[in-house]
Amino acid sequence: MLDKLKTEVYDANMRLPKLGLVTFTWGNVSGIDRDKGLFVIKPSGVDYDDLKPSDMVVVDLNGKVVEGNMNPSSDTPTHTVLYNAFPKIGGIVHTHSEMAVAFASARLDIPAVNTTHADTFYNDIPVTEPLTKAEIEDAYEENTGKVIVKTFADRGLDYDATPGCLVGQHGPFTWGATPDKAVYNAKVLEVCANIAYHATMLTHKDIHVPQYLLDKHYYRKHGANAYYGQNNPDSKNHAAREEK
């Protein structure tokens, strides 16, 4: 069942340690088959070295396990909320990548301060309010998804143009058209956090790029006038085929 998607999700999970985004098994990737309304996610707490495509767990959009012998990632309710709220996304990634978690701990957005950021994120990468006591004690992981959705709604952000978020006091979630693209965005988010950290330390001024720079970078990769890569106009190229 969903063997191709399981392999795709497995491969995307295995890229996380290679990209330096996870310590131990602190990360997970899922991918969805929108036609069937089912998503595939990493099982909870299995070593990357032991993981196999067939270990992936199939879950429906109510968060119910449909197939699989193992427990799905404990973050499954977060993924469920995001798939329901963000209908265009095909994959989700959660990591504890360290510079992103530093911004989440400081409860600061990752500011858009250069073209590296603008090429992938059309806005500052927002940090949510930390969960309240009630939200943590009841349905913690589900509420983690809800606070992301609420943050995007409150700020009027387009989840397709800004494919990632920091959960306050916790860490980053990213998404994309495919699991692979969501992994790409997780790496870009960490790189942007690292650069923004050092730029901020150097100057302590407001160094946001202007809106017209954000517009330019967004539209040269998206829509009818895109001119990036070998096959544009097409915003769904294989993630690794992006170039600057």
* Residues in 113-152 at the binding interface with a copy of itself, rule: CB under 8 A: 113-116, 130-131, 133, 136-137, 140
Q: Is 228 a catalytic residue?
A: yes
Q: Given the complex with a copy of itself, which of 33 and 70 has the nearer CB atom?
A: 70
Contact status: 51 vs a copy of itself (CB under 8 A): no
Give 8-65 as a DSSP string. HHHHHHHHHHHTT--STT-EEEEEEETTTTEEEEPBTT--TTT--GGGPEEEETTS-E
User: CA 169 to CA 40: how far, in whole Å?
Assistant: 27
Question: Is 154 assigned a catalytic role?
Answer: no
From 119, 159, 180, 218, active-site residue: 119
Among 184, 186, 189, 218, binds a copy of itself (CB under 8 A): 184
Q: Site residues for a copy of itself, window 11-40 (CB under 8 A)?
A: 23-28
- In angstroms, the Cα distances linking 9 to 6, 16, 50, 55, 73 are 5, 11, 15, 11, 13
**Neighbouring residues of 236: CB distance < 8 A, sequence distance ≥ 6:** 177, 178, 181
What is the 3-class SS of 209-222, one letter each residue?
A: CCHHHHHHHHHCCC
Nearest distance, CB of residue 123 and a copy of itself, angstroms: 16
Q: Which of residues 162-181 bind a copy of itself (CB under 8 A)?
A: 169-171
Contacting a copy of itself within 190-209 (CB under 8 A): 191, 194-203, 205, 207, 209
CB of 87 to a copy of itself, least distance (A): 27
- Residues marked as catalytic: 119, 228
